[in-house]
């Protein structure tokens, strides 16, 4: 995430966009869930800053010092001295917290990548005649999830099993196709297959990836203690407390 996007979020919240810009922004929020998650986090952080420092000063300091903070973190070979009025120091420090939330995870929330273990698929042990299934397995195990998706979709047209649906859903999650992945996992969690608990776990990971920590925790609390990887469920729950 870059400073231009921060300013874009701020302009929207302050009503500084044209009608066309506002419509374009809202379209991106509705269609890009990762963008929407970042926008939600931005609003939450600004609300906290408003309570602590007062938003008007914070916003002006934010605009004037954002590039300075960026240089400090990402261009260490180009130090610069910036003179600021006394109240700017608190404001600039708060902007640094914004960078921490998005780049350095100063808020200590767990990361999706820490718990992301897609596993391996082994379909061809039971079917060596379905070329799409063979290719789905190969590309999935090679971590070429985007390539695997059309093979899974071709198989599911004629053979809809919980196992194939599950690995299809995982592929969708890995490629940030959140709505489709959520639909697949919700269908599996409503069933009685061995993939029910796995689907719940991946729904929790989906929420985690979108930084919806509350939603992730709520789903984790519904997973049975009989789930084979329940230790990891407990670990993530503890990290979310």
Residue 205's CATH number:
1.25.40.10
- pLDDT of 108 reads 67
* 139 and 234 within one domain: yes
* 147 and 200 within one domain: yes
- For residue 90, the enclosing domain spans 3-104
* 116 and 100 within one domain: no
Domain-ending residue, one of 56, 83, 104: 104
* 144 and 68 within one domain: no
Given a cut of 90, whether residue 52 has pLDDT beyond it is no
Domain-ending residue, one of 79, 104, 129: 104
The total number of structural domains in the chain stands at 2
Q: What is the pLDDT of residues 113-127, one digit of tens each?
A: 899 999 999 986 665
* 120 and 235 within one domain: yes
Q: What is the pLDDT of residues 157-196, one digit of tens each?
A: 998 999 999 999 999 999 999 999 999 999 999 999 999 9
Three-state SS annotation for the chain: CCHHHHHHHHHHHCCCCCHHHHHHHHHHHHHCHHHHHHHHHHHHHHHHHHHHHCHHHHHHHHHHHHHHHHHHHHCCCCCCCCCCCHHHHHHHHHHHHHHHHHHHCCCCCCCHHHHCCCCCCCCCCCCCCCHHHHHHHHHHHCCCHHHHHHHHHHHHCCCCCHHHHHHHHHHHHHCCCHHHHHHHHHHHHCCCCCCHHHHHHHHHHHHHHCCCHHHHHHHHCCCCCCCCCHHHHHHHHHHHC
């Amino acid at each position: 995430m870059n400073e231009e996007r921060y300013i874009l979020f701020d302009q929207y919240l302050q009503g500084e966009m044209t009608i066309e810009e506002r419509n374009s922004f809202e379209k991106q929020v509705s269609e890009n869930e990762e963008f929407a998650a970042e926008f939600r986090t931005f609003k939450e952080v600004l609300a906290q800053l408003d309570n602590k420092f007062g938003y008007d000063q914070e916003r002006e300091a934010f605009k004037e010092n954002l590039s300075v903070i960026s240089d400090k973190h990402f261009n260490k070979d180009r130090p610069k001295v910036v003179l600021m009025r006394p109240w700017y120091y608190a404001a600039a420090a708060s902007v640094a917290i914004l960078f921490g939330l998005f780049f350095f995870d100063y808020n200590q929330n767990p990361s999706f990548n820490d718990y992301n273990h897609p596993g391996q698929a082994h379909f061809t042990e039971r079917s060596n005649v379905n070329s799409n299934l063979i290719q789905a397995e190969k590309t999935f195990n090679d971590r070429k999830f985007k390539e695997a998706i059309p093979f899974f979709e071709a198989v599911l047209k004629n053979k809809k099993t919980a196992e194939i649906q599950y690995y299809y859903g995982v592929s969708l999650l890995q490629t940030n196709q959140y709505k489709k992945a959520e639909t697949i996992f919700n269908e599996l969690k409503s069933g009685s297959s061995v993939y029910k608990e796995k689907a719940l776990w991946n729904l929790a990971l989906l929420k985690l990836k979108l930084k919806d920590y509350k939603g992730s925790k709520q789903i984790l609390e519904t997973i049975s203690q009989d789930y084979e990887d329940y230790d990891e469920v407990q670990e993530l729950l503890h990290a979310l407390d």
